[in-house]
Amino acid sequence: MSEMIIPNSIGYTQTHTERNMQRMGEQSAPRIAGKSEGTHTDKKLYDVCVEFEAIFIKQMLNTMRKTVEKSELVNGGYAEEIFEDMLYDEYAQNMAESKSFGLADMIYRDLAYRRNI
């Protein structure tokens, strides 16, 4: 029974998304297209969006890291855990700032549209 729910819910989500995109239609398309990816009128809002993307990526990396078995060969103890955590913070921040995911841009565009920036 759960096998039937997943495809149906995906179809519903896809249809719902397409309907919302059509509803936005030509009204918002020129407005969104007019803003190049490098232009952000509200720097503070964009910085918060990048920070949110970094937090999201960090959570994803932490979850992925838990799936990898630790080697008993090198055990750095608590200091190693702190170092790895700080390292993954930097990885996440660099990934967010490099716009490789694009999540910050999508969130910014959505929030800017809602605030009529």
Q: What is the phi/psi pair of residue 108, to 5°?
A: -60, -45
Cβ atoms < 10 Å from Cβ of 50: 20
Over residues 25-42, the pLDDT tens digits come to 444 443 444 444 556 688
Over residues 70-81, the pLDDT tens digits come to 777 777 788 888
How large is the C-alpha radius of gyration of the chain?
Answer: 20
What pTM was estimated for this model as a whole? 0.60
Q: Kindly state the average pLDDT of the residues 83-105.
A: 93
pLDDT value at position 68? 87
Q: Buried b / exposed e across 73-109, counting CB within 10 Å, b at 16+?
A: eeeeeeeeeeeeeeebeeebbebbeeeeeebbbebbb
Over residues 93-102, the pLDDT tens digits come to 999 999 888 9
Write the DSSP symbol of residue 38. Answer: T
HSE (side-chain half, CA atoms, 13 Å) at 84:
12
